[in-house]
A and B are shown apart, each in its own frame.
Chain A
Amino acid sequence: MLKTFRIGGIHPCENKFSAGGQIRQAMLPERAVIFLAQHLGVPAEAVVKKGDMVKVGTLIGKSAGFISANIHSSVSGKVARVEAMPDMSGYRRPAIVVDVEGDEWEPTVDCSEELTVHTDLDAKDIIKRIADAGIVGMGGATFPTHVKLSPPPGLKAEIIIINAAECEPYLTSDHSLILEKSKEVIVGTALLMKAVGVTKAVVGIENNKKDAIEALRKVKTEGIEILPLKARYPQGGEKQLIDAVMRRQIQSGALPVSVGAIVQNVGTAFAVYEAVMKNKPLIERIVTVTGRGVVQPSIFRARIGTSVQSLIEDAGGFVGNQGKVIAGGPMMGKALSSTEVPVVKGTSGILLLPQEESYRRKSNNCIRCAKCVQACPMGLNPTLLMMATEFGNWQLAEDNYIIDCIDCGSCSYTCPSFRPLLDSIRLGKDKVGTLIRARK
C-alpha cells in the first residue's frame, strides 16, 4: 500500500508527454530580462547600472531584507537598462536588461561536470553559500531557501523531506533532473541535512516515475530514504507531503518546522549542490515546454531571463489553434497574456493548450453535491467560502479558515457546475489576509 495524504485530493489525467526526455540546453538569449523580485519577500536592490559589463554569475541584485534573495546575471554582456518591465502578470516590475555578448563566466564558478562529494564546510557556511547564491524554492513558490533552513528559535527540525512528487500534470522537469543528475541530487540532500543538523531525509516521489525511483535508490547514501508515493494531486503540496511521509498535520498558520519537517524541492536540492560544491549561483533552471499545442514537447535547461517565446520556438513552435499559454502546470500555473516575458526562478514549465482544451465552461448554480468538500486537501468547505466571498461576509470566511487554502484548484477541477470556486476563494483569502494584518 503506497503512502499518500489523508484528506481529499484528485487524480487528473497525467499527460506527461515529455516523461523521461533528455534535458536540452536552451539557446542563449540575445537580450536577457532579469527581474529583481523573483522570490517571495522584499525585491533585491540593483547593484549595477546602465553600461556596466557583467559576466555569468555576477551579482546584480543584492538581497534587501530578511526574506529576500540575491539575483545574479545569467548571461555575460552589457547592462542595457535598469527599469520596470512587464512581468508574467503584465504589471511592470523593476528589472535589469542585459544585452548578451559571448558567454563569459565569473572565474569563481567551477564549470566542470565532475561530481564533488566531500566538503569541509560546516552548517553555517553551507547556509551562507546558499544565501549568497540566491537560491529559492524551485517548485514554484520561490521562498528563499536560506530562510527556510534557519528555523525560528525554539523550533527544531527532525527531518528533511525532498519533494520530488511532481504531482502537476504535464510537467516532467524534476523527473528528467533525477534521471540525469541523481548523484548530485543525493549530495544536495546530504548538504541540506548537514545545514539543518539532521540525520534523516526522505525523498517523496510519486510512483508514476519508476525509473527515477530506481535511479535514486541506486545512488542513495546513509540516512536518505526513497519513498514512493501514490500518484495523487496535490501530493507535492508542502502540508500534504508532510502528512504522507510523517503522518503529521500542521496547525492553521504554523510553519512546517513546527512538526519537525523542512520540505525542499528536488530542484532546490540540485541547486544547493551546485551552489555549495561548484560555487555556481542560481542562474538557470529546468523548464518543461509541453502540451498538445507545441510541436515537440521538450525539457530545457534555460538561463533565467530567456524569453518564453524563444523557448517555445526552440520546441518547434505552436501547433493547431493557439489557446492558452500557461506558466507552470495546468492546476496551479498562471495563463500568460504575452509570450514576450522572461523565464524566472519559479518557472517550472510552459504549457501550451490548444483552443479546444483551454476554454472555460459556463458556470451554473451550486447543486450542493459537496464534491469540492470531498476534494479539498485542506479539509475546507470551498462552496461555503465562495459564498462568503460573494456576499462579502469576511467574518464567516475567516471562521472557516479561508487563509488555509493552498490554491491547488482541486475544487474548481471537480465542480460539476463549473463554478469558479478558486477564483473567488483567492479573492476572499486576499481580503481576509489584509483584514487580519490590519488588526495586528
Chain B
Amino acid sequence: MIIISVVVLGGIGLISSVLLYIISKKFEIQEDPRIGLTLEALPSANCGGCGYPGCAGFAAACVKAESLDELLCPVGGKAVMDKVAEILGKKVTEVEARVAVVRCQGDCEARAKTNVYDGLKACAAVSKLYAGETACAYGCLAYGDCVRVCSFGAIYINESTGLAEVDEDKCTSCGACVKACPKNLIELRKKGPKSRMIYVGCMSKDKGGDAKKACARACIGCSKCEKACEFGAISLVANLAYIDFQKCCLCRKCVSACPTNAIMELNFLPEREATEAKAMAE
C-alpha cells in the first residue's frame, strides 16, 4: 500500500518536474541583467518624475535607449545619472537642475479674504466648487494638495502668508505638485547659479483693473517688464507676463520695472548689499 502511494506520488512529481522544466525553457523571457543593476542604482522613490511608471520603468527605458540625453532621474540628479551611465557604458550629458516655484504671492495682506470656506479641506474640492476665499480666481488656495503629494517634504504651507512655499534644497523637481495643483500655479524652472531665479509670481489672467482690485501684487499686464527686458525673454499673453527661463539672464531690470511687485527674485542679495559685496571683493 505504502509502496503504491510512493510510486504514484513520486511519478506525478517526476512528470511535473520534467514538464515544468520544458515549459520554463521554451517560454523563457530573457531580461537584460543591466535593468536590475540600473534599478539598484536608482533612488527607488517611484515618484514618476522622470515620466516613466516608477523606477523599474525608467531603468528599462535607460537600457533600451541609444543615448541618455533625454533621460533624467530628477530625484537622483547628476550623481545617479553618472552611475547609470557607468553601468550601461553610455555617456550622460550635463542636464540643468530644475526646481518647483509657486507662482502666487497673494498673501493675506495683498489679497484679502472676501468669504469663508468651511467644506472639505482640499484644493481640488474648493476649485471645483468656486473661485476661492479671495476675489482672485487664480491664486493659491493653501489647502495643501501639493503638500500631500510631495514625497520629499519639499513643499509646505506658510501659515503667516497663507501660501504654498518650496524648500529648494529638498525639491527634486519630480513634478508631482505641478500635476496636483488645480490652479496650475506650480512650474519647474531652471535653477540659476546659487539657485537664483526670476519669475512672475502671478497667474491672474483678469484685466489689469480687476486683477489689481483682487490682489495688490497681481500682474496687471502693463507690459512694462516686456519693454524693460533686453533679451526678449518676456512675453505677454492674456494680460499675464511670462518670463522664459531659457532666455532670462537674471539682470533684474524687469523686477524694478514692475509697478505691482509681481515679479519675484529668489536668492538675490538686496540691491545695496550686492554693490557693497562687489566693492569688498574688489
The list of the 3 closest CB pairs from A to B, nearest first, reads A90-B131, A423-B120, A89-B130
| Nearest-neighbor residue (CB-CB) of A431 within chain B | B124
Q: Do residues A337 and B130 form an inter-chain contact, with CB atoms below 8 A?
A: yes
Tell me, yes or no, whether B188 is within 8 Å of chain A by CB: no
- In angstroms, Cα B210 to Cα A92, docked, is 11
Q: Do residues A424 and B131 form an inter-chain contact, with CB atoms below 8 A?
A: no
Tell me, yes or no, whether A356 is within 8 Å of chain B by CB: no
Q: Do residues B118 and A334 form an inter-chain contact, with CB atoms below 8 A?
A: no
What mask results when residues 118 to 147 of chain B are scored 1 for a CB within 8 Å of chain A, else 0?
Answer: 111010110011111101010000000000
Q: Find B125's partner among A90, A92, A427 (CB 8 Å cutoff).
A: A427
Tell me, yes or no, whether B107 is within 8 Å of chain A by CB: no
Q: Do residues A91 and B130 form an inter-chain contact, with CB atoms below 8 A?
A: yes
Q: Find B131's partner among A335, A337, A360 (CB 8 Å cutoff).
A: A337
A92-B137, A359-B118, A360-B119 known; A426-B131 Cβ under 8 A = no
22 residue pairs of the A-B complex, CB under 8 angstroms, read: A86-B131, A86-B137, A89-B129, A89-B130, A90-B131, A90-B132, A91-B131, A91-B137, A337-B114, A337-B115, A337-B130, A337-B131, A338-B115, A359-B118, A420-B119, A420-B120, A423-B119, A423-B120, A424-B120, A427-B120, A427-B124, A427-B125
A337-B114, A423-B125 known; A89-B131 Cβ under 8 A = yes
A430 proximity list for chain B (CB < 8 A): 128
| Nearest-neighbor residue (CB-CB) of B132 within chain A | A90
A337-B114, A337-B115, A427-B125 known; A90-B120 Cβ under 8 A = no
Q: Do residues A360 and B137 form an inter-chain contact, with CB atoms below 8 A?
A: no
Could you tell me the distance in whole angstroms from the C-beta of A95 to the nearest C-beta in chain B?
A: 14
Q: Do residues B128 and A427 form an inter-chain contact, with CB atoms below 8 A?
A: yes
Interface residues on B, range: 10 to 19
Residues A104-130 near B (CB distance < 8 A): none
B135 proximity list for chain A (CB < 8 A): 90
A92 proximity list for chain B (CB < 8 A): 137, 206
What mask results when residues 379 to 414 of chain A are scored 1 for a CB within 8 Å of chain B, else 0?
Answer: 000000000000000000000000000000000000
- In angstroms, Cα B128 to Cα A67, docked, is 22
What mask results when residues 345 to 359 of chain A are scored 1 for a CB within 8 Å of chain B, else 0?
Answer: 000000000000001
Residues A326-385 near B (CB distance < 8 A): 334-335, 337-338, 359-360
5 further A-B pairs in the complex, CB-CB below 8 A; given A89-B130, A427-B124: A88-B130, A91-B130, A334-B130, A424-B125, A430-B128
A360 proximity list for chain B (CB < 8 A): 118-119
Q: Do residues A426 and B125 form an inter-chain contact, with CB atoms below 8 A?
A: yes
Could you tell me the distance in whole angstroms from the C-beta of A102 to the nearest C-beta in chain B?
A: 30
- In angstroms, Cα B131 to Cα A88, docked, is 9
A337 proximity list for chain B (CB < 8 A): 114-115, 130-131, 133
A90-B132, A430-B128 known; A338-B119 Cβ under 8 A = no
- In angstroms, Cα B130 to Cα A426, docked, is 13
- In angstroms, Cα B119 to Cα A359, docked, is 10
User: Which applies to chain B's interface (DSSP): helix, strand, loop or mixed?
Assistant: loop
Could you tell me the distance in whole angstroms from the C-beta of B30 to the nearest C-beta in chain A?
A: 33
Interfacial residues, chain A to chain B (CB-CB below 8 A) = 86, 88-92, 334-335, 337-338, 359-360, 420, 423-424, 426-427, 430
Could you tell me the distance in whole angstroms from the C-beta of B241 to the nearest C-beta in chain A?
A: 19
- In angstroms, Cα B137 to Cα A88, docked, is 12
- In angstroms, Cα B206 to Cα A89, docked, is 16
- In angstroms, Cα B114 to Cα A427, docked, is 24
- In angstroms, Cα B128 to Cα A426, docked, is 9
| Nearest-neighbor residue (CB-CB) of A427 within chain B | B125
| Nearest-neighbor residue (CB-CB) of A421 within chain B | B120
- In angstroms, Cα B130 to Cα A423, docked, is 13
Could you tell me the distance in whole angstroms from the C-beta of B209 to the nearest C-beta in chain A?
A: 12
Could you tell me the distance in whole angstroms from the C-beta of A433 to the nearest C-beta in chain B?
A: 11
A427 proximity list for chain B (CB < 8 A): 120, 122, 124-125, 128
- In angstroms, Cα B119 to Cα A334, docked, is 12
Q: Do residues A90 and B118 form an inter-chain contact, with CB atoms below 8 A?
A: no
Residues B151-210 near A (CB distance < 8 A): 206
A423 proximity list for chain B (CB < 8 A): 119-120, 125
What mask results when residues 79 to 112 of chain B are scored 1 for a CB within 8 Å of chain A, else 0?
Answer: 0000000000000000000000000000000000
Could you tell me the distance in whole angstroms from the C-beta of A35 to the nearest C-beta in chain B?
A: 15
B124 proximity list for chain A (CB < 8 A): 427
Most chain B beta-carbon neighbours within 10 Å: one of A90, A91, A359? A90
A424 proximity list for chain B (CB < 8 A): 120, 125
B125 proximity list for chain A (CB < 8 A): 423-424, 426-427
Could you tell me the distance in whole angstroms from the C-beta of A80 to the nearest C-beta in chain B?
A: 15
- In angstroms, Cα B122 to Cα A430, docked, is 14
- In angstroms, Cα B130 to Cα A119, docked, is 45
| Nearest-neighbor residue (CB-CB) of A337 within chain B | B115
B133 proximity list for chain A (CB < 8 A): 337
A90-B137, A92-B206 known; A334-B129 Cβ under 8 A = yes
- In angstroms, Cα B205 to Cα A91, docked, is 11
B206 proximity list for chain A (CB < 8 A): 92
- In angstroms, Cα B144 to Cα A246, docked, is 47
| Nearest-neighbor residue (CB-CB) of B205 within chain A | A92
- In angstroms, Cα B117 to Cα A420, docked, is 13
- In angstroms, Cα B124 to Cα A136, docked, is 29
| Nearest-neighbor residue (CB-CB) of A358 within chain B | B118
Could you tell me the distance in whole angstroms from the C-beta of A229 to the nearest C-beta in chain B?
A: 31
B130 proximity list for chain A (CB < 8 A): 88-91, 334-335, 337
B129 proximity list for chain A (CB < 8 A): 89, 334
| Nearest-neighbor residue (CB-CB) of A423 within chain B | B120
Could you tell me the distance in whole angstroms from the C-beta of A97 to the nearest C-beta in chain B?
A: 14
Most chain B beta-carbon neighbours within 10 Å: one of A88, A337, A359, A360? A337
- In angstroms, Cα B128 to Cα A424, docked, is 11
